[in-house]
Amino acid sequence: MNETTRPGKATLFIRVVFLASVLLALLFAATSHVSGKYRLLLLVGELSCIPYKLVVVKMTRPENIVFERGQLLAFLPYGRLTDQLNQRLLDGNGSILVVKYLAGVAGDIIKVENDAVTVAGRKFGDLDLLEKLNRAPGSYDRIQVLVDGQLAMMGTEPRSFDARYWGPINVDEVVGVVYPIW
């Protein structure tokens, strides 16, 4: 290719901008069409407790989910957050979704002993947030058997605020199945 047939930098820039605009328009159209069924979540900051930054949540009712350990699920964390965030949930905002792994189902045991947690026999690590939560060592120690309708939801990061602190959630709090993108 010689100099006369190669596109200039300005032409290349216009092409890239045009292609990006078309892709964004298609993405907007697709998400508008399925926005009631799918949500795209960007998980950033210190609150992220799983190793992914971008996920898709397939919104569905709990009765449509076959629950399996290791599955990523989204749920509404009623009563498990700060007073301000809990009020946002109660006011019907619905924008506060928590994403964690399903670690335990009915019949499984959550065991917190010497500030270390296991769920269904799998070690999830220590309780690294005791100081931040202003709690004494051993204050969360317990053995709890999950009953029907309860799920143990866990993060994989050391700073995860999860079932090791607040126990199981109710199945009816689950609002979707999560699929990691990046």
pLDDT band at 9 (very low <50, low <70, confident <90, very high): confident
**75: Cβ contacts below 8 Å, ≥ 6 apart:** 97, 98, 100, 153, 169, 173, 174, 175
Percent of the chain with pLDDT over 90: 49
- Read off the pLDDT of residues 108-127 as tens digits, 9 standing for 90 and up: 999 999 999 999 999 998 99
Q: Do residues 156 and 149 lie in contact, with contact meaning Cβ atoms separated by under 8 Å?
A: no
- Read off the pLDDT of residues 86-102 as tens digits, 9 standing for 90 and up: 666 566 555 678 899 99
Alpha-carbon distances, residue 8 vs 5, 13, 18, 19 (angstroms): 9, 9, 15, 17
Choice between 115 and 17, residue whose per-residue pLDDT is larger: 115
Taking alpha carbons only, the member of 108, 117, 85 closest to residue 98 is 85
* 157 pLDDT more than 70: yes
Q: In angstroms, rounded to a whole number, what is the distance separating the alpha carbons of residues 10 and 2?
A: 18
Q: In angstroms, rounded to a whole number, what is the distance separating the alpha carbons of residues 42 and 39?
A: 10
Give the tokens for residue 96. Answer: 């506060």
| Whole-number pLDDT of residue 83 | 72
Average pLDDT over residues 42-47: 65
Q: Do residues 154 and 124 lie in contact, with contact meaning Cβ atoms separated by under 8 Å?
A: yes
Q: In angstroms, rounded to a whole number, what is the distance separating the alpha carbons of residues 21 and 139?
A: 54
Average pLDDT over residues 22-49: 65
pTM: 0.75
**118: Cβ contacts below 8 Å, ≥ 6 apart:** 109, 110, 111, 124
Longest CA–CA separation in the chain, Å = 76
Choice between 90 and 72, residue whose per-residue pLDDT is larger: 72
Alpha-carbon distances, residue 84 vs 68, 80, 88, 163, 174 (angstroms): 32, 11, 6, 21, 21
